[in-house]
Chains A and B, each alone.
Chain A
Amino acid sequence: MKRLCYPAFLALGLLLFVASCAEEQDFDQIDDLSVTPTLASGLFYLESDEATINSGGALSTFYFREVNFDTFNEQYVAEHLLEGTITYELENTTSKQLRIIIGFVDEAGNILDTEIFEIEADPSGVLTREVFYGPGGKSLDILTNTTSLRISANNLSDGTSVSSTQDPKVILRSGADFLFELQ
């Protein structure tokens, strides 16, 4: 029995070593890896009280600014951007009918696209708009060629009335959700 034990151990050991193997592995699969994160960020926030709107007078532009914005224009971002949505929320508690225009401007100063928001005087609730860029939506080229945003806010009403609401304001919120293909 003892004599059998020793060879048996050795045979088992040898068998395990000889039998050791690995199933076929394909390490090239890593090239098929698709990494498509969704990145979210606040974009632009504009808030104005009613006094500022009134100070511009009736039927006037109370705010105008062109802001350099070349994030989507950067080569890496432009090459990897698949699709995305910019969400706008407009809230008006003033006594004015207002219009806010956001223009997407390229390097040569051409306006590529505009988003126009008109909102009635309070109570008007919250105006929400989701603008989709990509297949089935607006062209991604608008974003990838944009180097600045032109923002103007216009008072479509008089320049004297004051809302009875406490702390009347107009607020424009915006945020972006974009899908990138990193790999």
Chain B
Amino acid sequence: MRIAPKLILIPLFCSTIALAQNKELLYDFYEIPQSLMVNPGVKTSQRWHAGIPVLSGLSFQGATSGVTVNDLFANDGIDFTTKVQERLLDVMGNKDDFSSTSQIEGITVGFRGKNRPDDYYSFGMYGETDIISYWPKDLAILAFEGNGGNNIGRSFDLGDLNLRGEMINVFHFGINRKVSAALTLGARAKLYSSIFQFQSIKNSGSFVTRQGQNNIYESAINADMQLQTAGVKGFYDIVDADTGTTQKDVTSLFTERVFLGGNLGFGLDFGFSYELNPQTTITGSILDLGFINNSKDVWNYTFSGSTTTEGISVFLPEDIDDVDNDLWQDLLDEIDAALPYGENESGYISWRPVKVYGSIRYDFGEGGNPVFDNCGCGVNASGGTNRDYYRNSVGGQLFMMKRPRGVQAALTGFYQRRFGRVASLKATYTVDKYSFTNIGLGANLQLGPVNFYVLADNLLSYSNIADSHYASLQFGFNIISWNDN
């Protein structure tokens, strides 16, 4: 119990190593092959590409919509308890969250169909970890302030406990088809191999202490709470057994789960790009329309029921012959019985966090050599209106993501500049719940067949990263070919 108050701060630490899901710099940055992963219908001009294993795509994001690490842990001489009270408890609401996302691309390969040069196929494997925890405002206040004093009469919402996390490995295969000179469509099928998943997202109930009907105080609680886990207990049991082969056993179980040995799921991505005119393009995609069927290694915890107590109550003459001396223990037993804590192994479906992107871009500054000449890429290569001839692009992007407490949205404006085949830069300004000052910069460099990209968000916060509400970094290496040579 001593550690309980610290547990509430754990999400904050987690957020320092986390990522956000929005990849506004990568989106529609079609010089980078990984842009296929955020829009399977993006324009593709290369003949083939292959990611350098494990180094082709690394992305990390961390986000907090409320307090930052620096707010609490800056070495500023202010009493820590005061900082927690003023910057955490008094300020943050139950819609503030701490989130973290990371992706590591294991394999990625893409190639253009020999018989159908309009089609670009891509497949691969990547690992993803995604964790979000909303600030459990009422529970935190209950832990720090208690139910007495000024909180008499306050109803604490047990539904404030809301968190979700998972680690998965994804096998995917996508098709990108240039339907016409103006339209490109794409779809990707995904097979999810879950390593672990947990969620506590459908909690409800309240706890209140108020003036009693008979006694000075009465406390009432009604709860319907559940923590669902899949794949967690297996790891826990290995660590708990501590047999001397723990590391080996954990590695073995992890590997098994990575390669389809755990819970499995299925999902789909769809996307398109459409040129309204030679200089204006709209795009859109929807990602991770899918689920995981959690039926193995499931362990769920439940806490539900309701009761009201005013303490030990004796009514005379009704209780005059009651000689039981354990009235207090009886009361505690009654409360326990009314609020049963349970465990079960019922399987459940966990839905993937669906993401939607949309954008409009305007290309200008025609001139110079095309970035991708001799691509052999079918219908898009025809004519002199290929948008690759434009060196500049400006536009806007919209990102939306389904989260346990509703849709999370971000709006981005961008400018992109191309420098022949060698380099392309993209600058973004993004507004979302985490930041109003998110300026990002991405660079794509092509040195012969070797492609390197790096994309970093919220650059203004780099002067003190600990004070940032949002940080994101993506980078990777690929080998790209545009012709047969």
Cβ of B238 within 8 Å of any chain A Cβ, yes or no, is: no
Q: How many angstroms between the C-alpha atoms of A9 and B454 in the bound complex?
A: 13
Query: Which residues in window 172-212 of B have CB below 8 A to A?
Result: 209, 212
Q: Which A positions have Cβ atoms within 8 angstroms of B?
A: 5-6, 9-10, 12-13, 16-17, 19-27, 29-30, 32-35, 37-49, 51-52, 55, 62-63, 65-71, 76, 87, 89, 148, 171, 173-175, 177-178, 180, 182-183
B70 within 8 A of A: yes
Known A-B contacts A89-B216, A182-B5; the reply to A47 vs B315 at CB < 8 A is yes
Structural contact, B425 and A9, CB atoms closer than 8 A: yes
Which chain B residues in 301-325 approach chain A with CB under 8 Å?
Answer: 309-317, 320, 325
Q: Which residues of A contact B114 (CB under 8 A)?
A: none
A-B contact pairs, 12 of them (CB 8 A): A21-B464, A29-B73, A34-B81, A37-B142, A39-B147, A41-B209, A42-B215, A44-B314, A52-B320, A67-B327, A76-B1, A148-B325
| B438-483 interface (Cβ within 8 A of A) | 441, 443, 456, 459, 462-467
Contact B81 A32 (CB under 8 A): yes
Q: Decide yes or no whether B2 CB sits under 8 A from chain A.
A: yes
Closest to A26 in B: B75
Contact B417 A183 (CB under 8 A): no
Does chain A have a CB within 8 A of B145? yes
- The verdict on A37 contacting B143 (CB below 8 Å), with A13-B441, A21-B463, A42-B212 known, is yes
Residue on B nearest A51 in the bound complex, by CB = B317
Considering the complex, give the chain A residue whose CB is closest to the CB of B78. A29
Chain B residues, Cβ within 8 Å of A49: 316-317
Contact B73 A27 (CB under 8 A): yes
From B80, B212, B417, A29 is in contact (CB under 8 Å) with B80
Q: In the assembled complex, how far is the CB of residue A102 from the closest CB belonging to chain B, in whole angstroms?
A: 12
4 further A-B pairs in the complex, CB-CB below 8 A; given A23-B74, A29-B80, A171-B214:
A5-B417, A19-B462, A48-B315, A55-B317
Q: Is the CB of A35 within 8 A of B143?
A: yes
Quick one: given A20-B465, A40-B209, are A30 and B325 in contact (CB under 8 Å)?
A: no
Most B C-beta atoms less than 10 A away, residue of A32, A41, A63: A41
Residues of A within 8 A of B239 (CB): none
Which residues of B from 293 to 350 have beta carbons under 8 Å from A? 309-317, 320, 325-329
Contact of A175 with B462 in the complex, beta carbons under 8 Å: no
Contact between A63 and B320 (Cβ–Cβ < 8 Å)?
yes
Residues from chain B with Cβ under 8 Å of A29 in the complex: 72-73, 80
Q: Are B69 and A25 in contact (CB under 8 A)?
A: yes
Q: Which of B217, B311, B465 contacts A22 (CB 8 A)?
A: B465
User: Which residues of A are found within 8 Å of B1, using beta-carbon distances?
Assistant: 76, 182
CA distance A134 to B296 in the complex (A): 53
- Contact A6 B465, beta carbon cutoff 8 Å: no
Separation of A141 and B389 alpha carbons in the complex (Å)? 85
Q: Are A32 and B320 in contact (CB under 8 A)?
A: no
B14 at the interface (CB under 8 A from A): no
| Chain A: minimal CB distance from B332 (Å) | 9
CB distance from B79 to the nearest CB of A (A): 7
Q: Which residues of A contact B209 (CB under 8 A)?
A: 40-41
Digitize B422-439: 1 where CB-to-A-CB distance is under 8 Å, 0 elsewhere.
Answer: 010100000000000000
Whether B5 and A25, one on each chain, are in contact in the complex, defined by CB atoms closer than 8 angstroms, is no
Contacts of A66 in B (CB 8 A): 325
Q: B8: nearest residue on chain A (CB-CB)?
A: A35
Kindly state the separation between the CA atoms of A183 and B144 in the bound complex, as whole angstroms: 10
Tell me if A52 and B75 are in contact (CB < 8 A): no
